[in-house]
Amino acid sequence: MGIIILIILGYFLYTHYTQLEQPNKTSYQKKDRPQDVLDQRLARGDISIEEYETIKQTIQ
């Protein structure tokens, strides 16, 4: 009886501490500003410099 309780307790402690080490990343992410998203798109090459300047003017 004691071994079963020990195994169950160990399982719950293991799951509890692994969840603390790996938090849900989506809930902790901050929202990116539109300017940051635009800069990232330009850095990746998704948009041209002309498009970047046009969108930047509309954002500001």
Per run of 10 residues, the mean pLDDT along the chain (length 60 residues) is: 88 77 56 85 92 90
State phi, psi for 20 to the nearest 5 degrees: -70, -35
Q: Which of 42, 44, 38, 40 is nearest to 56 (CA)?
A: 38
Q: pTM of this prediction?
A: 0.47
Q: Which of 3, 60, 7 is nearest to 35 (CA)?
A: 60
> What pLDDT sits at residue 49?
92
- Domain boundaries in the chain? 2-59
Residue type, 41: R
Q: Which residues contact 58 (CB under 8 A, 6 or more apart)?
A: none
